Structure 1
Amino acid sequence: LNDLFKVAVSQPKVPVGVDPKSILCEFFKVGQCQKGFKCKFSHDLNVQRKGEKIDIYSDKRDGEEEDTMDDWDQETLEKVIASKNAEYQQNKPTDIVCKHFLDAVEKKQYGWFWVCPNGGKECRYRHALPPGYVLKSQMKALLEEESKKVAIEDEIEDQRRKVQTTTPMTTELFMEWKRRKAEEKEAGLAALRADRAKNDRMSGRELFMADASVFIDDAEAYEVYERREEPQANQEQVKISLLY
Structure 2
Amino acid sequence: MATADSDSGDFHSVVSHQRRELLEAQTLESDLDLAFRLQLEEALAASMSSLPSTSSSPPRVQNPDTDCFVSGLRALQTDELDRLEQEVRDRQQSEAEMTKLREDIHRRAHDQKLAREISQMPEEEWEEYGDNYERPFGEGSSSGEVFRVFFKGLAREEKIGNSREPIMGIGVSICDFRDNLVFELQKPLVGCGKSHEYAETRAMIEALNAALALDLTRVDLFCDHQPLYQRVSSS
Per the normalisation by structure 2, the TM-score is: 0.19
Q: Which has the higher strand share?
A: 2
Greater RCO structure (CA 8 Å; 6+ sep): 2
Larger Rg: 1
